[in-house]
Structure formats: C-alpha cells, structure tokens
Structure 1
Amino acid sequence: MATLIRPPPIDQSQSEIENVLELTQLSDIDPDLFTNTRPLWHPPGARGIFGGAAIAQTLAAAQKTVDPEFTVHSMHCYFVLAGNSEIPLIYHVERVRSGKSYATRTVQARQRGKVIFTTTMSFVRQNSGGAKKVEHVVLMADVPGPEEDSDSEMHPSGHSPFQSQRLATENEDSDKPHTKKCRQWVKARGRISPAGGHEAHLSAIAYMSDSYFIGTVARVHKLWRYSSQRKSAAKSSIGEDVLKTLLEMDDAELKRQSVSDADIKRIQRIKNGEDPKKVADDVPEIGMMVSLDHTIYFHNPRTFRADEWIFTETETPWAGDGRGLVFQRMYTKDGTLIATCVQEGLIRLKQNDSKL
C-alpha cells in the first residue's frame, strides 16, 4: 500500500504540488512523526521514487517543528536507498537545536525500518543579520523568457505538478563539458494557496530543484540515456518504454519534453530504420545514473512564488570515478537569486565486457 492512511479527497483549494507533497502528522504516536498523505511518483526507468519528493517532504516536516519566525537557509541531504512507491514513508524529525538566531533539524525518511533518505537543515530567525550587511550576488544570464502555453513534463497522469521549458544549452558544441550550461524555466502548476504560506513555496522549489539535475552530466557529454533492451531497462536512466513513447513524437514535441538535441538526432536515426543497438553503440550509453546527495542554500526565502516562472541554470565542474558533480542556481523571472544547489550523483557507463 502506498500510504499509511487512506488519502483524503484532493483539496481543490490547494495547488497540485501542495497536494502531492501533503503530509499527515502521526501525533498520536509522536508529534515529530509524519507520513506521506498521497502516493509518491516513481519516474519511468528510475530505481525508486522521484528524489525531489523526499527532499521536499523532509523540508515540509521540519518546517512544522520550528517557530514561525524561523526560515530554512540550508539543507544537506543524502539518498541512502531507493524509495519504494508501494510502501508508505515515515519521516522522523529530530529537534537537534533551537537557539535564539538559529535552529537545527535532522529528518530521516524510513521504509520498513530502514533509512532511505536523511537530511540536516538549518533555520535562521528573520532579520537577525543586523542593519549593516555584507552583500553580493551572481547575476542571472540574459536568456529568452518562458512561453506561457508551453509544457515539457512527462508524467504517468499526463503531467507533473510543475511545468518546465528547456532552453538551448550554452556552449552546446564545445568539446569542454565543464564550459556548458543547461538552462530551463520551471514553475508549480496552478496557484499555491495562501494557507500554504512561504513554507509551501520553499517545499515546491525543493521538489523542482531535482528536475534534470544530475542529468546535466549526461547532457554535456551527449551520452545516450535510453535503453535499447528491456533486460537492461531496470538499470538504465530511462527505460525502453519511454524510448517507444519518444519515437512516436515529432521533433517539436521532443524539444518540449526536454530531450537534448543530441538525443533527438539519435531518435531520428532510429525512426529512419537504424537498429537502436547500433545507434547506442556509436556513443557511450549510461548504465546507471542516480543521485547520491543534494544540497540547497536558500536565498531571499520569503520573497518569491514557486507558482511563477523560475529560471534554473546548471553546470558541472567535474566528473570522474563513476560520479559527477553539478551546481545549480535558481532565479525569479526578474533576476532575484533564490537558491543555490549542489548535487553529486553516481554515473556509470554501460560496459560491453562486464555486468554493472
């Protein structure tokens, strides 16, 4: 069963992302215990639930245990085991410290008694920095704005709780992967309710921050991400069934689905009759790609709306030893930096002479 308690009807006064991330407090057992109210999404080809859900729900749980004057400014997460979408998640918040200016919370997400995800967060009291401050910021790139009616998220129900639009990769044709920058616009669908407060907007960008994050490494190296054989689909970043769906789309729809230009060219070759295995053999193919950790530093945390367009830019300074590191910045449409994120992931290429 996907939830511990039967889910209530969808709350029409809330946005989709609020309903997706809704928590149930298990106060009869422990006021610091929470569980997912609704089933969690298992992306096609992934090893487990969408990582953004664990990031966002642990944040949501921790936010319920701090004074309203405190706001999260950083969270450091580790993905320990793949989450099973058929088993309820239990979130346990540990109140590590509650000081005058800062508070610390650790949250563990458990399934069947095992920790699958853990995070430590720090909260700061509003306006505790003093009247005089040290300030600087990296400016947002000059990029085309979002198209209001465009959408590019594949989801079993037809769409995800947020929209995204991929932009052209900067330095796409460079032979230096570390100089490339992958860009997209994202926003939560609908309107986040006033009752959700700033906490709902913070949880929403935490959820969206995991969108195509470690996949940046695959994009800048133009790796093939689609399994050509069902037997390897369980370990591929994206499985055979997704490839079949993409083969039915035209080029314009592929772009809306955030498929890279390099992959579109390969999909065109398969449409023209080439053997998918031969297409995959021409370039390195990902055998496994999963997130290991995820860090978010929140800036200006009460000055933005997650249901308005947010620009994200990712770049990778390093990859090696079966791992890759990616940096991400998130800006409001008017150029306000609202978050800086870091993720390291496991990235293994498919080996022709051995099994992963």
Structure 2
Amino acid sequence: MTELAKAAASGLDTNAGLGGQQVLDRLVALLDLEKIEENIFRGVSPPHSPTRVFGGQVAGQALVAAGRTVPVERKVHSLHAYFIRAGDPKVPIVYEVDRIRDGRSFTTRRVVAVQHGKAIFALSASFQLDEDGVEHAEQMPDVPDPESLPTLAERTRDFADLLGPRVFPRPIDIRYVNDPPWATRATGQQPARNQVWMRADGSLPDTQLLHVCVLTYASDMTLLDSLLARHGVYWDVDKVLGASLDHALWFHRPFRADEWFLYDSASPTASGARGLATGRFFSRDGRHIATVVQEGLIRVL
C-alpha cells in the first residue's frame, strides 16, 4: 500500500475539522492505487461510509487502474460501467485490468473490481491519441457565476435537523444554481432538471488522468437530484432507496477539475423502479468538456 493510500485509510472516519485542500488530498490519496502484480491494483476506502463504497470512488479508482496500463500520450475519451454489488468500505478493492486491445489510434481496457472473491463493479474504457477533426458543441446554459452562489454548507445550514450528520466537508466544492431537492421537496414536484457548479476544493497536480478521474468521481454526485426533484423526495429524508446501476462518461475536451465547471443534468424518464439521468459538463469559459448518462435504482417505499 502506498503512503498516500495508508493516510487515506488511517482510521479517521470523518472529514470534520479539515480544510478543503486536506479533504481533496484524501481523495487524491484514494486514487493512488497500489500495484500488486502486472495488471492488478489495490485500492482502499475511507472508513466514513458504514454501509457501502461511494460509486464515484470505485469508478475513479477503476479508471486509474486502466490508465496505468496505457501510454500517457493516449487520453481516455469514454468509459462505460456497471455497478454490480455494493462495495464494502472495510476491506480493500482489487482491480483486475484486461488489456483488450492496443491499436494504432485507440486502446481499450476492461477492469473488474473484486471484493470477497466477487465482482462488485465492471468498467470498459477507451483511450485515443490526440487527433484533429470536425468540431461543434452546444452552448452552455446561462447561469450565475459560482462565487455569487451559497456554498453547500450555507445551503444546508437551515436544514440541519432534516439532513442530519450526512453533511460533512467534501473534496468537491458544490454550488447549487437552482434550489436543491431537499429544499423543494415540501412543495411537491419540481422540474426534472438540476444545475450545480463544481470544482475540486483545492489544487491538484498537473497529471491529466488525475483530473479526469476526479471529474469521474464528481459525476456520481447530484446526478440523480433531477430525478428526485421531479417526485419531491430526497435520500435518507423520505422513504426512498436508490443506487447507481450503470454509468457512462464521454470526455470531449481538456479541462482541469480544480477549476469551476457547470454540471447541467436532467432526467428524461423513469419507470420500472429505474430512473435515467443525463448530464453535461461545461468549463467556465463555456466549452463542453464531458457528457454523462446514468441509470439509477429508485424505490419509493
């Protein structure tokens, strides 16, 4: 286990009292996988989650494992993943990388995350050499600047009795453009849309793969808010159970995850105890940097 990973798993079970950079450093530590054999890596989890590993963490770590078997000049452009079982935060996760293909322009990797002898997560990722080609993109929505919006701590201050201890310092600074679902749930159904500004809450090294993995981590945060708002419910507040089922990301243009990006998400449909959410990421200067689609399990009891 690396020294960074040891620090992340040192038994400090909350981020309470830590500053943004310290919390972000813990995330960087979690993404610093240990190589235990050729094509096999091991990651740890912060012990603050009593029941299951956060999906964005598993996706980010799996992408790190894949990326460490690919030449640095090839950049990840897409990933497709399935969440198979809930991860156990008390034991390490082993990531097994299958080198599917090394072509002249594209490289394909498959990663399976294993705990207790069973697969908990599977990811396929594709990497590409930089190429010139046609370009176009949709325009970024017109939204207020992130500095003009309240922090997550400020947003949740008046809802402490409702949300309880689940709110703690995070490695991602989140600023809701619209009212968050826990604030609107009492008013009933809201538009199936959610917009937040995000950035890593501190400075990251210049390693390109790390920035992609941090955005991958963040992409599993707030994405299903649009679905919940549509039905006037929220996690752990109402009788609603949920989990990520599958997750797909496409990376379109270079970016830094420690600079502000807009996460614009919507839920076009829900049925059969499943809901679909789509999201677009825009850099602050308006570039469309990534797109995400996720289906989640949603059971309103």
Mark yes or no: TM-score above 0.5. Answer: yes
Supply the distance in 2 between the matched residues of 1:289 and 1:141 (Cα, whole angstroms).
29
Q: How does 1:5-84 map to 2 (within 5 A)?
A: 7-9=5-7, 15-26=25-36, 30-37=37-44, 39=46, 41-42=48-49, 48-84=52-88
Which residue, 220, 240, 253 being the options, matches 1:287? Answer: 240
Q: How does 1:169-318 map to 2 (within 5 A)?
A: 180-194=192-206, 197-223=207-233, 225=234, 237-238=235-236, 285-300=238-253, 303-318=254-269
Supply the distance in 1 between the matched residues of 2:239 and 2:217 (Cα, whole angstroms).
24
Q: Is the 8 A contact 2:241 2:298 kept in 1?
A: yes
Q: Is the 8 A contact 2:43 2:92 kept in 1?
A: yes
- Deviation of residue 151 (structure 1)? 3.0
TM-score of the superposed pair, with normalisation by structure 1: 0.70
Q: After superposition, give the CA deviation of every residue in 1:147-205 in whole Å (9 maximum; x if it has no partner).
A: 289531698794111110111169x899986x6421001111211023xx101100000
- Deviation of residue 20 (structure 1)? 3.0
1:319 and 2:270 aligned: yes
- Deviation of residue 137 (structure 1)? 0.8
Q: Is the 8 A contact 2:188 2:232 kept in 1?
A: no
- Partner residue, 2:136: 136
Letter in 2 for 1:288: L
SS of the residue 1:147 aligns to: helix
Letter in 2 for 1:210: D
- Partner residue, 2:174: 164
Supply the distance in 1 between the matched residues of 2:258 and 2:293 (Cα, whole angstroms).
23
Q: After superposition, give the CA deviation of every residue in 1:181-230 in whole Å (9 maximum; x if it has no partner).
A: 21001111211023xx101100000000000112321112212x3xxxxx
Q: How does 1:69-148 map to 2 (within 5 A)?
A: 69-127=73-131, 130=132, 133-147=133-147
Q: Aligned residues: percent identity?
A: 33
Letter in 1 for 2:96: H
Supply the distance in 1 between the matched residues of 2:166 and 2:40 (Cα, whole angstroms).
29
Supply the distance in 1 between the matched residues of 2:76 and 2:53 (Cα, whole angstroms).
24
Letter in 2 for 1:189: D
Change beyond 3 A, Cα 1:315–1:156: closer
Supply the distance in 2 between the matched residues of 1:92 and 1:151 (Cα, whole angstroms).
38
Letter in 2 for 1:215: D
- Deviation of residue 35 (structure 1)? 1.0
- Partner residue, 1:277: none
Mark the runs of 5 or more structure 2 residues left unpaired by the alignment: 9-20, 157-164
Change beyond 3 A, Cα 1:218–1:37: closer
Supply the distance in 2 between the matched residues of 1:222 and 1:86 (Cα, whole angstroms).
33
Q: Is the 8 A contact 2:194 2:264 kept in 1?
A: yes
Q: After superposition, give the CA deviation of every residue in 1:286-310 in whole Å (9 maximum; x if it has no partner).
A: 431111000001111xx31101111
RMSD: 3.0
Supply the distance in 2 between the matched residues of 1:15 and 1:162 (Cα, whole angstroms).
11
Q: Is the 8 A contact 1:22 1:37 kept in 2?
A: no
- Partner residue, 2:18: none
- Give the number of equivalent residue pairs: 274
Letter in 1 for 2:275: G
Change beyond 3 A, Cα 1:307–1:167: same
Supply the distance in 2 between the matched residues of 1:91 and 1:41 (Cα, whole angstroms).
21
Supply the distance in 2 between the matched residues of 1:151 and 1:25 (Cα, whole angstroms).
37
Supply the distance in 1 between the matched residues of 2:289 and 2:251 (Cα, whole angstroms).
6
- Deviation of residue 349 (structure 1)? 1.2
